[in-house]
Structure formats: structure tokens, C-alpha cells
A and B are shown apart, each in its own frame.
Chain A
Amino acid sequence: MTPQPLDAASRGEQPYLWRFTPLQRTLHAMVIVSFLGLVITGLPLRFAYAPWARVLVRGLGGLAAAGVIHRMCAIITFGYFAAHVGSLIYRVARGTSWKRILWGPDSMVPQGKDVRDLIGMFKWFLGRGPRPRFERYSYMEKFDYLAVFWGVAIIGFSGLLLWFPEFFSRFLPGWMFNVATIIHGDEALLAMSFIFTIHFFNVHLRPEKFPIDLVIFTGRATTEYLKDEHPLEYERRREAGALERLSAPPVSRLAYVWSIILGFASLGLGILVIVLVLWAVLH
């Protein structure tokens, strides 16, 4: 028995099949870098009373430096948000119908099937039914995706308010900055709590995938992976005779090593953040 690859998307029956485009992979890498940057620099403010807060600020080069990093990461965030919305518009302009984007099998929009899948999963958890079979995106992936949409909008707007209070006070009352402070901090806390526990478990840490799934970095996964994780998509592609066209070469050694490094560094940082949050909350 050969040792299993660390990467869950590299295990089992080949060939590799393309799953994410270079743009999608780049945008997700931007999400990772900017989100971690925002969390690490925002955390000491949210938990200023925590014993580690001053240490973290010193490590970041002082509070002024942390503020600059935070704002730079915010700009990256607005950048990937705009790039993604732009790519959707581009697809429509190139002839893909809105209908297909919103309601097609590749859609990110929650549909009846997602509700049935969610109920089906709970039934399966309790041993009262088969495991639901997912299309290209499961309800969990849709939730993650829409949570970023909601999160960037909410945290982004409240953040802009706090970044430029003098400008926004031209048309907003000052107590909106109090509201923005609460929303910005609590929504960020929700985002990091969710990403660093639920998302990490769903995508990387559950026993089938442990310890990591690099498909978002390498863009490709094995045929077996697709059969296990997205069986309906696999069948649809097979029936359409599209598997051949999706076939991808194995990941180059260099890309694999870099994906492992970025992946584990992000996982480690995220888990460290959860430890810091729990430390602060329970302190």
C-alpha cells in the first residue's frame, strides 16, 4: 500500500480533472492572504484587553503599522470582490445567460435541492437515510461563498465608515460609528470563528480529507475525489462526454510544495487565531 498523499484532492483514481480556473484560484489566494492579514491586525483591537494583544501589536511593528496592514488588506479585499463581480459580468457579456449563472447546475445560489440536501445530511448523520449526493457546489460551499459576499459587504462598508469618519459624517449621524464598530468587530469575529472551525473542518480536517485539500490551490482533483465529493457533477460531465475535456496533468512538484506551504501556514494561523480568541474570551 503506497502512502496516501497529504492532499485529499490527489488521492485515488486518476486522471486529474480541472475544477477551478486560474482566476478563481488567484482570487481565493487573495481571500486567504487578505483575510488572515485583516484578522491578525484586527484581533488585538477587538480583544485589546487580552494578555496577548500588546505582544501581537509589537510583533506587527506597532499599532500604526498594524493599521496600515489592515487597510492594505482591505484594499485587496475590495479588489478581489470587484474582480469577481467583474468576472461574472464578463461571463454574461461573453454570452453566458444570467439564468444559467443563477439557476444552472454550477450556480452558487441556494435552491430547493440545497434545502433537501441539508435535511438529508442531518438524516444521514442520525442514521436515517443515505448520504446526499452533491452537484458541483454543495450547500456548504454555497454558504461559504455567500458568507464572503455578505461579509465583505457588511464588514467592508462598516470598515470604510471607520476609516473615513469625517467623510461619512457629512451624511451620517455620529452614532453610526458606534454601530459600525459593533458590526465590524462582531461580524469579523463571526467570519473568523466560522472559517477557522467550520470551513476548516468541512474542507480540510474531516477524516475523509484530513489533513488538507489543495484543490483550490492546484485547481485540479482526481476522478475519485469528484466521484466522492460531487457525484452528481461527475455523472453529468460523464454523460455530456466532458470528462476528456476536463482532464488535467498531475500537479507539478513546485506547485504542489507551494500549495502545501500556503495551505498549512493558513490552517496553522487560523487555528492559532481560534486559540487566541478562546484565550481572550475565557480569560
Chain B
Amino acid sequence: MSETHHHHGHDHDHAHDHAGSATMAQRVATLVGALERKGIVTADQLDRTVEGFLAHCKPANGAAVVARAWVDPAFKGRVLADANAAIEELGFDMSHWAYVKLRAVENTARVHNVIVCTLCSCYPLSLLGPSPTWYKSVAYRSRVVRDPRGVLEEFGVHLDPGVEIRVWDSTAELRYIVLPQRPAGTETLTESELAELVTRDSMIGTGVCEAPRR
């Protein structure tokens, strides 16, 4: 490895005749390698930290929030007013390495919300788990702010022409979660049965929740 001799130079392991830069995997490997060589972290510590972190981050968390909002109008009011405080009632929090503000936006018969991060891939990780690859793709990030209805059609979400679409570009310190509409015909379901109807995509806005088939 030549970089041990070139602390301030380029990484000369890579050919420079390609227009693109190093892949993300290469960059991460280089960074991790440097941290390990300097004794700042071990591979073991990194693995345990990432696994411990992700063990608590899953779409079931967001689904629990949505289901509670469906059955408890007062809770829904609190989620819409101060989502950080409301999700703490269910034992969830948004603090990863720094405070981020969570905002819930509600789908109704007249308004459909969809979230994106056009600049990178900001996402409510603790409520939805790791983001899907398409959420991080240039195609989704660039197109959903230009033609949201067309993008939603490709996801199989067909909105009535009169429905107003609101796109939320998570450009700074807020993370968004969509409160999808409760499907018709679910009046008799329990809160935990309702939570099973709440998909990850419905909380991004690229899906809708459906009643269980009979």
C-alpha cells in the first residue's frame, strides 16, 4: 500500500484514467483501514457497533407508530404536533449521533405525501430501518421532485386526479415519516394487526396500506 508513504497525497492504488471516482465501498474500506492502522477502531468494534445500532432500527417501529395513530386520535394529534415526544411514548427515539427533528405528515383523501432526500439519503432510520437502495438512487431522488405522480404510478400508487401531492425534501435537520391512510374495512382489527398492514413504502409515501385479503 503506497499511502503509508503519502499521507497527504492521492491514493495511488487507483488508476486515474477513469472519469468516475472510487466506489463508495472502496472509500469506506480505505477509511476503515486507516482508522484500524492508527488504532482508533478495530474491525470487531465496528461490527458490534453497527449491528447493535441496526438491531433497534426496523420498519416495525414506524408501523407501531402508525397503528397507534390510527386507533388513538389523541396520539395522532401529538405525533403531528411533536413527533419526537410522541414516539418516545412508544419507546422510540431519533437520536443517532445528534438530535434530529422528526416530523410526521398525514395522508388524507385529499393530500398524499412522499419523502425524499435529493442531496443524499436522509431517512428516518430508527423508525424505518436501513433505507432501500432505490431511495438512494439518483433516479428516484431527481425524478420524484420533478414528476411525483409519474414516479408514484411506477410504484403502483394510483392517486385520484384531485389528490394534491406534497413532496418533502429532507435537506437539513428534519426527518419525515408519512402517516398513511388507514384502509377501509379494518375497523375490527387490533392495533397489532393493523401494524402488520403498514409497509415501509407506505411510510415513505411510495406505497399505500391495504386491508388483508379474505
Q: Do A and B bind each other?
A: no
Interface residues of A (CB under 8 A from B): none
Interface residues of B (CB under 8 A from A): none
